[in-house]
Amino acid sequence: MAPVFSLLFLISTASVFSAVTARDYGFTVELIHRDSPKSPMYNSSETHFDRIVNALRRSSHRNTVVLESDTAEAPIFNNGGEYLVEISVGTPPFSIVAVADTGSDVIWTQCKPCSNCYQQNAPMFDPSKSTTYKNVACSSPVCSYSGDGSSCSDDSECLYSIAYGDDSHSQGNLAVDTVTMQSTSGRPVAFPRTVIGCGHDNAGTFNANVSGIVGLGRGPASLVTQLGPATGGKFSYCLIPIGTGSTNDSTKLNFGSNANVSGSGTVSTPIYSSAQYKTFYSLKLEAVSVGDTKFNFPEGASKLGGESNIIIDSGTTLTYLPSALLNSFGSAISQSMSLPHAQDPSEFLDYCFATTTDDYEMPPVTMHFEGADVPLQRENLFVRLSDDTICLAFGSFPDDNIFIYGNIAQSNFLVGYDIKNLAVSFQPAHCGAV
């Protein structure tokens, strides 16, 4: 997929008539990895290493998109780079499976009638069958939710248009309808008059097993922002490390009061607003240390502007640093490791080592965010790409001006987002037991 900030939820749905309308409280939903046997994108013919290499490929492609494009209690299963979300739209509820993307805002799905749609295996949403569906008028303030991509039809209905860096796109009507999600309490949670995009022209690299995108960014049309009154602008997740556990291991994706991250070991860092990349969760990474040696983040290296210099993203597999910082950091890691050097069989990563065991010595490594020192463990630093090769799960960007804190570095941490108070919190955790 082009917009690689993709977090996939898989949420089972239920009748909207048994749903409760969400107010100021917490709830938890199921989050399923795209490579889990529960996912419609699961490929049983792929090996574990195939899935990891594919995740690295998607991660690399996603970062290219960021550079090129300026437009705009439940299980979490690991296995690489992305996650899917299943939600219901309309009344009666109609289930859709979509890429949950923390780097975009609009919630959109393919809609009938579709003049130009990519192949979709599941039935397509028909807005005429929903009693709560309503197109947004051009005169409505809601029309501005889709930003510069909004326009007006001949009959004064608000249209949206989203372009992605790989030339994929979605265009259609901006509308409001009820969005319903199942929670682990057993009662579905309904959100009336949620702004969605009803796509009638969608094409590009979209997978046939998904129906669209669920935006989880910071813009007004994202799911997280629209749930704000019900959740206080809070959500959290805990990602199981790649290559550990079984397909039945799980953790939680939490909203509202269920998403509070506090207690022993918790540290927090500010969320900044980037003038150019407003939808992203932008942080300030001050330095990276290996043992007693600290390597500062180069001043002026980031394109984000202002105080921030790196984006945190749960869907990007690798962590991307400025090339100068990566070279210093990688060299220090290499000098501290007693393992022989090796070549990355996937040809993605630069700092690789030969070992068949997962019980190897590594130096202490800490990510120094503003106000938050985050110590990394073995599973945050290295990814196994073959039976006898591990690689440092860090890379650099071709244009070297946008940087990302990826999901391998976030695994085995409870990561909480507080949009109201503009903070991201990290708490060490064993995510398979959360």
Whether 388 is catalytic is no
Length of the chain: 434
Six token digits for residue 101: 């993307």
Phi, psi of 323 (to 5 degrees): -60, -40
Query: Are 83 and 253 contacting, i.e. CB atoms less than 8 angstroms apart?
Result: no
Whether 418 is catalytic is no
Candidate list 35, 101, 400, 418, residue with the active-site label: 101
The letter for the amino acid at 46 is E
Q: Report how far residue 94's alpha carbon sits from residue 331's, in angstroms, rounded to the nearest whole number.
A: 52
Candidate list 35, 105, 313, 344, residue with the active-site label: 313
Q: What CA–CA distances, in Å, run from 315 to 33, 263, 267? A: 10, 26, 22
Close Cβ partners of 82 (under 8 Å, ≥ 6 residues apart) = 1, 4, 6, 7, 8, 33, 34, 55, 58, 99, 315
Query: Are 280 and 67 contacting, i.e. CB atoms less than 8 angstroms apart?
Result: no
Q: Report how far residue 113's alpha carbon sits from residue 124's, in angstroms, rounded to the nearest whole number.
A: 9
Residues with active-site annotation:
101, 313
